Structure 1
């Protein structure tokens, strides 16, 4: 994409405010899920905030589509992350990846190497996905018949074991939607773990190769 295009200017102007809005969305959702004794007025305020922010994300998606000049189906297929975070606003913070690029365009060349950026992106994405996944599953499992997930701490433990692909099995979702969320987290955990380990291995190989090239030949 040309950096002088309207779409690029729109992205540079809106990415940071939208990222902040996504954090507010998560805070409102977490408040509704975790604050059980919250007065109805505050719960309604959190719900209205979530709805308003979702409309904001959807409007941003429409603007990006119109500025791209592409047919809608082609835009959906070539902007997969944009589409996912509109359907599932809890995943909006995963836009931290392009957010970093937007910031770096303003400040010059990226200061981190490609491997370090991938590791940082994947690590932060894992934390955000784990927290959001724990909230979503806990909301479904709380009070369900036969549920082994009694507290939010149980949900966090389950999310950590799921994303790390360990899967102890001591806590498992029993509701249909909870299991659907679990499948998504398993797939994301495999991808993120592969990205981190692959990038770290490539980084080590690059370092060892550079050291070997700089070493003077033996006599």
Structure 2
């Protein structure tokens, strides 16, 4: 089912249909550029600056998309109130210390491609989302922690291990962020882990309920068919009994006639 906001805002829905795939491509470019910038420690200053231009440019496009959606909205303040998270995601990365949070915008844009059929594709949705969030969070925490004093997350392997233990709510504690940006990533990851667990639990519960409902409906249909068969059998039996009575009556009449003669 489409979002209520999009149902009430046909112009925004039309805009989304027109630009979502383009924005998804930009989000993938953004993610690739950021991953390159974080993982390639041999980048020259010129290469790093070029990647920063790509990151900033794509982030600006995301911001323009948000502004266009506001301009197209019939109830603009209502749109802003119901999309506060989008606004925060676009505003916070303006601060250099929070630059990694620009990656959350990527998750938002990619998530828009699956918003209408999350339950029908729950396995794909959950697995894909976990993989994307894990990769994004690993890059973000490594970017924040790699050169921080007393940091325990200095390689991508460390970052990926920390991400998986955090998103699964296990939290071994052998790796942990020490910077503000890293801790913000950790908080976001903890919330994402709880949300994903809730999605999985709700989807499984819904699946069980639906299957039980379908099984109950199938049993009810079978009972109705059996009842109909019983009714037909009773009707046929009644017809046979009526025919037997009529035959007996004719035989009795014939016997009386023979005696009389």
- TM-score w.r.t. structure 1 length? 0.84
Instruction: Indicate whether 1:30 and 2:35 are aligned.
Output: yes
Distance 2:9 2:80 in 1: 22
Matches within 5 A, 1:13-162: 13-72=18-77, 74-80=78-84, 82-87=86-91, 88-91=101-104, 92-100=106-114, 115-162=119-166
Shift of 1:191: 0.8
Distance 2:11 2:200 in 1: 34
Matches within 5 A, 1:179-190: 179-190=183-194
Distance 1:212 1:177 in 2: 52
- TM-score w.r.t. structure 2 length? 0.71
Conservation of the 8 A alpha-carbon contact between 2:27 and 2:110: no
Shift of 1:4: 8.8
Shift of 1:199: 0.6
- Larger C-alpha radius of gyration, 1 or 2? 2
Distance 1:122 1:89 in 2: 22
Conservation of the 8 A alpha-carbon contact between 1:115 and 1:202: no
Alpha-carbon distance change, 94 to 146 in structure 1, aligned in 2, over 3 angstroms: same
Q: After the TM superposition, which of the residue ranges 171-180 and 27-36 deviates more from structure 2?
A: 171-180
Q: Which has the higher contact order (CA 8 A, sep 6+)?
A: 1
Q: After the TM superposition, which of the residue ranges 37-46 and 207-216 deviates more from structure 2?
A: 207-216
User: Which structure has the highest helix share of the two?
Assistant: 2
Distance 2:180 2:10 in 1: 44
1:131-173 CA distances to partner (integer Å, 9 max, x unpaired)? 1111111111112222111211110111111111111111111
| Aligned pairs, number | 207
What's 1:104 paired with? none
Alpha-carbon distance change, 4 to 205 in structure 1, aligned in 2, over 3 angstroms: closer
Give the 3-state SS of the residue equivalent to 1:180 in structure 2: helix
1:175-219 CA distances to partner (integer Å, 9 max, x unpaired)? 22211210111011101111112212221232133224323459x
Distance 1:126 1:8 in 2: 27
Which of the residues 10, 13, 34 maps onto 2:15? 10
Alpha-carbon distance change, 22 to 154 in structure 1, aligned in 2, over 3 angstroms: same
Alpha-carbon distance change, 142 to 54 in structure 1, aligned in 2, over 3 angstroms: same
Distance 1:50 1:4 in 2: 30
Query: Root-mean-square deviation (CA), in Å?
Result: 2.4
- Is there any run of 5+ residues in structure 2 with no aligned partner, and where? 1-5, 92-100, 227-261
Give the 3-state SS of the residue equivalent to 2:120 in structure 1: helix
